Amino acid sequence: MNTSVGNTARLLGAGLRALLVLTVLCGVLYPLAVTGIAQAAFPGRANGSEIEDARGRVVGSSLIGQSYHLPKQNPDDPDEAPRPDLKWFQPRPSAGLGSNTVNQQYALILSGATNKAADNPDLVTMVTEAKAAVVADNTTASYRVDPSEVPADAVTSSASGLDPDISPAYARLQAHRVAERNGLDVAQVEKLVAEHTSGRVLGFMGEPRVNVLELNTALGALTKG
């Protein structure tokens, strides 16, 4: 009996010591080491790829898209459709027109696609309506948008609904409207788009892209908006 109790006590003691050592190693020292290395080598990425405006305020993450809408006319109406604030570059659709995602307005709590086929009648209708809206929103007194110029990412969402980027073609299409709404020269806005256009990763992977948040942050600094 005494031997059995003694063996059990030794095993429990060894287990508790192992638990304590592993807790300190894996739960304290290892996370601190990884965090320290990340903060020293990649501080921006380690902190969530945050973007700051000209005043030093964090306005979002370069990895997550966000919408640019006008305030609701009736804040108490849950069914009121959001209206885009056309002085800003607009991202890909996240809900409603052209949406093929279950995400609603870049909500971080939800990400995923609806898996609608390309010939799904509902999706075809939404894309058609989205194209008409893009043409109407971006046609100005001096610039007429041809429907054939509207790129695919202007009328369809990404599968996640969180895509922070748009194509250079969609950014350039919006340049005339953004210039008019902000009292800027089109050349100024197009230069801003060119400065915020990223090429393919390693020169061959993916497509050229424009980060909408970074572009709008630079636009805000230019217009003091």
Contact 167, 209 (CB under 8 A): yes
Write the pLDDT tens digit of every residue in 49-78.
Answer: 989 888 888 988 999 989 898 887 887 777
Write the pLDDT tens digit of every residue in 3-37.
Answer: 787 788 888 989 999 999 999 999 999 999 999 99
Measuring CA to CA, which residue among 100, 101, 96 is closest to residue 84? 96
Instruction: Tell me if the pTM is above 0.85.
Output: no
Write the pLDDT tens digit of every residue in 87-126.
Answer: 999 999 875 555 566 666 676 777 777 778 888 898 888 8
**Residue ranges of the alpha helices (H) in the chain?**
2-24, 30-41, 43-46, 121-138, 168-182, 186-195, 212-223
